Amino acid sequence: MTSTTSDTTGARAHARAMAGTRVDAMPTIPATAATDLPPGVAADDVVWDETIAAGGYAARVLRRGSRLRLTDLQGDGAVAMLVFNAERPVERLNVADTVKIQWNAYLGQGRFLLSDMGRVLLSVIEDDTKGSDAFCGASNQASNARKYGDGANHGAHPNARDRFVIALAKYGMTRRDIHPCVTWFKPVAIAADGAIELDVGPHAPGQHVTLRAEMDVIVVLANCPHVRDPRAGYTVTPVRATAWAGPVTPPDDAVRNATPEGLRAFENVEDYYRR
């Protein structure tokens, strides 16, 4: 008998029949059921595992000490990231200070993401990617409409800023809370003449970056084509986010002690939690 959703009984039967269905992009529930984990990570420690589709978004609270691995599954991911202090979201990632304090705009292993209150939100503890982007920001409806003929949030070519809006709403925030972002897996360099050089890829599948939460944070991700991607088609592939519990950064940590400026930013975190 063919099921129908035209009445309540049929709709209920159809919904229940979907139990156990898996698609390529969805959260693993419970997260401890995740497989193909990074070396040394126990399933019981996993707190988040989700594949973010092309044009998709995700957001999650991560506790201090958690590790977050982003994996570019097919080599053409472009994950724009916002970060907030989970306890007081008025504190959030400041990309300008992040690059200024570290005297370097090219984020990678050993670098960190700084808040607008001088505290480290996330540090990069592994990075085998070709690079990231701390310059260009996120795509928007107008930029996508110019390239693809449409940039609506619920259309065929969603943009990163509008994806951020949906994710932020789940935490009581609005469009005005969107700040300049970092985009992973799309390296951007600045040439000697000031020109922006984007290495659009595609790159080797499976590249990853692992970040450590130095505070309780809200991480917001939007996997949409880079705002300066020159390709005519809406080109982006799924990215996996996997997070697991871990220890708080110790006093002898290499990232913490790499520079005087970085040490001060970590000390600001430690002072914040000394309550």
Domain count, the chain: 1
Look at residue 263 and tell me if it is in a domain.
yes
Three-state DSSP class for 60? strand
| CA–CA distance, 224 with 3 (Å, rounded to integer) | 36
Q: Which of 74, 72, 118, 103 is nearest to 215 (CA)?
A: 118
Residue 24 confidence (pLDDT): 66
pLDDT tens column, 234-246:
999 999 999 999 9
Q: Per the domain annotation, does 24 fall within a domain? A: no
List, for residues 141-181, the tens digit of each pLDDT value: 999 999 999 999 889 999 999 999 999 999 999 999 999 99
Q: pLDDT tens across 54-104, in order?
A: 999 999 999 999 999 999 999 999 999 999 999 999 999 999 999 999 999
38 preceded by cis ω (within 30°)? no
- For 25-57, the pLDDT digits (tens) are 789 999 999 999 999 999 999 999 999 999 999
| Residue 207, in any domain of the structure | yes
212 with 63: CB under 8 angstroms? Answer: no
pLDDT at 254 over 80: yes
pLDDT score for 200: 96
Pick from 67, 92, 73, 228: which is nearest to 160 by CA?
Answer: 228
With contact defined as beta carbons under 8 Å apart, do 59 and 193 qualify? Answer: no
User: Is residue 11 domain-resident?
Assistant: no
CA distance linking residue 174 with residue 177, whole number of Å: 6
30, two tokens = 């419970």
pTM over 0.85: yes
For residue 261, pLDDT over 80 is answered with yes
In a domain, 67, yes or no: yes
Residue 1 has a pLDDT of 47
- On whether residue 33 sits in a domain, the answer given is no
Residues 143, 227 contacting (CB under 8 angstroms): yes
Least confident piece of the model among 12-16, 152-156, 206-210, 216-220: 12-16
- What is the domain range of residue 115? 48-272
* 104 in Cβ contact with 261 (< 8 Å): no
Mean residue pLDDT across the chain: 94
Q: Which amino acid is at 30?
A: P
Distance in angstroms (rounded) separating the CA atoms of residues 91 and 79: 21
Does residue 136 lie within any of the structural domains?
yes
Q: Would residue 43 count as lying in a domain?
A: no
* Residue in this structure with the two tokens 């990632």, named with its chain if needed: 93
- C-beta separation of 160 from 142 below 8 A: no
Q: ω into residue 202 within 30 of 0, thus cis?
A: yes
